[in-house]
Structure 1
Amino acid sequence: MTGLLGFILGAVYIAGVWRFLSGFDKTNFTSNKVVLALLWPALIFNANYRRNFTKALKE
């Protein structure tokens, strides 16, 4: 059961990174693309980052 939970969390993390990187040009950010993508779970609590993350996810 723990292995399945780890797999699901890993898949959600990777999907978040992928979607953020794909939509990065829609955000107000200009640099640190990879760092911002990799740290999304921690930064999602910041209102400005959350707003830009949501912009990046919209298609």
Structure 2
Amino acid sequence: MELLGFGAIVLYFFIALRFWQGFHRTYYTRSRFVLSVLWLPLLMNKSYRENFRRALLG
């Protein structure tokens, strides 16, 4: 069970890092850190989801 929790944390930070690296492809101009850290709850917003996909996939 601990391994599953650790894996979830690693995955969360890996995706946040990918978003951070692709941030220049989004329409956002600031709040890079906040948007990268809060990516999971923000995925409910359609506009954020589109920009998130754009950042990850290029």
Counterparts of 1:42 and 1:16, CA distance in 2: 13
SS of residue in 2 equivalent to 1:51: helix
1:44 is aligned to 43
TM-score by length of 1: 0.92
Divergent runs of 4+, >2 A: none
Aligned mates of 1:43, 1:6 — CA distance in 2: 21
Tell me what 2:29 maps to.
Answer: 30
For structure 2, the 5+ residue unaligned runs are: none
For residues 1-16 of structure 1, what are the structure 2 equivalents within 5 Å?
A: 2-16=1-15
Root mean square deviation, CA, Å: 0.8
Per-residue Cα deviation, 1:3-58 (whole angstroms, up to 9, x for no partner): 01111110110111100000000000011000000000110111000000000001
Percent of pairs with identical residues: 40
| TM-score w.r.t. length of structure 2 | 0.94
